[in-house]
Amino acid sequence: MKEIAIAVVSLIVGAIVGPYINWGIEKKKQKLAYRRELVSKWRAMLQEVAQEKGDNKSTRLRLESHCDFYSFLPHLKKRSTPIDDNLLETFSPELSPVITHLVNEVERIEREWDLT
């Protein structure tokens, strides 16, 4: 009789806990897929904006007008110091310093989210 009671309790607990565990696993998979999709969109946005050559002001305007920029903005860390002329010289002349910085930010976010 004791074994039957244990079996019934185990079935009930399994019926309650099993779906909850599966739900948690599925939730993590969906979150991971959503984050991968965001990173992919951000990279495509940066590539699209980088192809259109221009100064920092026009690059910033193109970024801010892009539909994926505002999903990216909350994840950016605040820059502790402004970009000065000496720092601008260290970047590739072919690529805007703003784009270079944002590419590095995407890589940082990707590492933080364990997507690499």
Tokens 């903005």, residue located: 73
| Confidence label for 48 from pLDDT (cuts 50, 70 and 90) | very high
Collapsed DSSP state (helix, strand, coil) of residue 55: coil
The maximal CA–CA distance of the chain, rounded, in angstroms, is 83
Confidence of residue 54 (pLDDT cuts 50, 70, 90): confident
CB distance 99 to 50 below 8 Å: yes
**Per-residue pLDDT, 80:** 44
The average pLDDT across 7-14 equals 81
Angle at 102 between CA 73 and CA 32, to 5 degrees: 65
Per-residue model confidence (pLDDT) at position 27 = 95
- The CB density around residue 70, as the number of other CB atoms within 10 Å, is 9
pLDDT of amino acid 113: 95
Query: Average pLDDT, stretch 49-67?
Result: 87
